[in-house]
Every structure is written in C-alpha cells, then in structure tokens.
Amino acid sequence: MDNSKPANKRITKAVIPAAGLGTRFLPITKSQPKEMVPVVDKPTIQYVVEEAVASGIDDILIITGRGKRAIEDHFDRSFELEAELKKKNDHALLAELETIAELADIHYIRQKVAAGLGHAVLCAKKHIGENAFAVLLGDIITLSDSPCTKDLIGIYERYGASVIAVQPVPIEDVRRYGVIKGEQVDDGLYRIVDLVEKPTPEKAPSNLAVLGRYVLTPAIFDCLEQTKPGLGGEIQLTDALRLLLEREEMYALEATGPRYDIGNKLSWIKATVELALMNEEMGEELRVYLQELLRNK
C-alpha cells in the first residue's frame, strides 16, 4: 500500500542554528565563531548556506549569539573591498564576492541564552510561521551528488511528514549522537518508531545516527514549547521530536555522502584534505604532495 501524500506547501525556508560556543574547537574559536572556521577557501557556514540554496531554498534564518557578528559580515556586501578589486581589475574574485552576498535572503536573530539546539530552533517560530522548513546545523558539512537537504525535501513532498537525515556509524560511537529506531519502508528510508539521545551501545536501537539535517513541520514549535529543559538546562531537539512523533508520522532518510563535523578537530582536518583534493586549482598538486609525504614517513 502506498501511504504517500502530497505536501501542502513547497519548502522555501531554512533555519541554520549557529549560536554554539564552539568549546570543542578552542582555542581557534576563542575569537571567531566555529561556523567561520575555514575549510579550504570558504568558511564552514558558507558550505551550509550553499547546500540550502542548491536545495531550492531562498529564505534563510541564521540563529546567532554573542560574538557571531563575523557571520553577518561574511554574507554582507563589502564596498571598500569590492572597490579595491575593481581598481585591480580582479573581476573573477569580485564576481565571487558579489555572489556570496546574493546567495539568498538571509536573516538573523540572536539566541540570547545558550539553552540548547531545541531552543535555537524555537527562536525561529515567528519567522517560519505555519510553514514546513529545513534545519541545517551550521557546523556540519555534507557532501553528495544530490544535496542532502534536497533529498529530505523530496521525501517531505512525497509523504507530507517530517524527515530526518541519518547515517550509519560504528556501534561504539552511538553514544555521541541521537539514534533512531525505525521500520524500513523503502531503500534507505525508514518510518521512525523512536528516537534516543546518545544511548550506550548496549541500549542503542540501531546504529543510524542523526547527522544534522532535518525537514520539519511547523507542529515542532508547539512540541518545543512543551519540552522541558534537560541536562545542563538545555531544551533538546531530540526530546521535542519524540513528542512530535506521538502526534505525526516521521521518517528518516539514510544519507549517501560523507558528513563532516567541523566542531571536531580531526573531522575538520579530513574535510579540509578531501575538499582540497576536489579543488581544481590545488587538488592534483596536493595529491602529489600527500603521496610523497606518506612515502617518506
């Protein structure tokens, strides 16, 4: 039986939580947002915004906090810099900077207290209204032939329900993630039965971990308002999703490409190396260098 049903509205809005303190990345993040940590030649959050835009989204709300002004400046025009590039006839770089400023309609709101990911999403309620929307964590980069968020939107359009991106992880690593219990309904697609936040390997219902990409119905906001603070006084998005699951169907889509957590130093190094190898300007030269380096070790 085909339980698919059309979604009511096209998804055009995304929320990017970017208010975290980045303590796992100190001392780099002492004076700059972790979302602005560069990967090759772009800050992390630019990859995230570009994924949203490539998924058909043109209205983005970034949830920031104190010390995050650099994010706003990055996506704004810099007339002095543009004037200098014009003097130098550097039209290629000028065009690139202008493209960054015109990626989408980008709005900002501050999360005034560090009250967790769930609270950060709740800050978007007035902006989102009664629309389904995407959530992309601002320090997670995903790579695939088709953007992860675009694939989630496709599932939402088919089923009219919230959908979360997941990825298998080694069972010993599940304690670092939210993990789903699901019933497979299609290749790589699961109907969620339960969600567990950071279970022990012995109690994990699966090894399918939530990877930082969501498409959610507006009903999540009522669930967030009813969610009580948990550990550290924070409102956890996973707790609100469990409440939403009691009211609506929810799906999980297994992502096909790699995921990089830029809050993790080793993952950041991996992202930098792998994306640099894909870079047309430096990829081949870097590959030769790495091969030579490994031979001499």
Above 60 in pLDDT, residue 96? yes
Residues 248 and 161: beta-carbon distance below 8 Å: yes
Sign of CA dihedral 280, 284, 287, 293: negative
What is the per-residue pLDDT for 234? 87
**Residue 57's pLDDT band (boundaries 50, 70, 90)?**
very high
DSSP secondary structure code for residue 270 in this structure = H
The whole-number average pLDDT for the span 43-68 is 94
pLDDT band at 30 (very low <50, low <70, confident <90, very high): confident
> Do 200 and 175 contact (CB within 8 A), yes or no?
yes
pLDDT digits (tens, 9 = 90+) for 2-25: 444 544 578 999 999 998 877 888
More confident residue, 135 or 95: 135
pLDDT of residue 4: 45
DSSP state of 104: S
Q: How far apart are CA 121 and CA 152, in angstroms?
A: 18
What pLDDT, on the 0 to 100 scale, is given for residue 51? 97
Average pLDDT over residues 68-89: 89
For the chain, the distance separating the N- and C-terminal CA atoms, rounded to the nearest angstrom, is 58
Mean pLDDT for 165-169 is 94
- What's the CATH number of domain 13-263, 3.40.50.300, 3.40.50.970, 3.20.20.60, 3.90.550.10? 3.90.550.10
Q: What is the predicted pLDDT for the residue at 20?
A: 81
Higher pLDDT, 234 or 45: 45
180 pLDDT band, cuts 50/70/90, is very high
Q: Rounded CA gap, 297 and 150, in Å?
A: 42
Q: Mean pLDDT across the stretch 268-277? A: 94
Mean pLDDT of 115-132: 94
Residue 194: the pLDDT is 93
pLDDT one-digit tens code per residue, 231-257? 678 898 999 999 999 999 999 999 988
pLDDT, position 3: 46
Q: Where in the chain is the domain with CATH 3.90.550.10?
A: 13-263
Q: Residue 261's closest CA among 174, 164, 177?
A: 177
In one letter, which amino acid is 20?
A: G
Write down the pLDDT at residue 39. 95
> Under the phi-then-psi rule, with left for phi > 0, alpha for psi from -120 to 50, and beta for the rest, what region is 232?
left
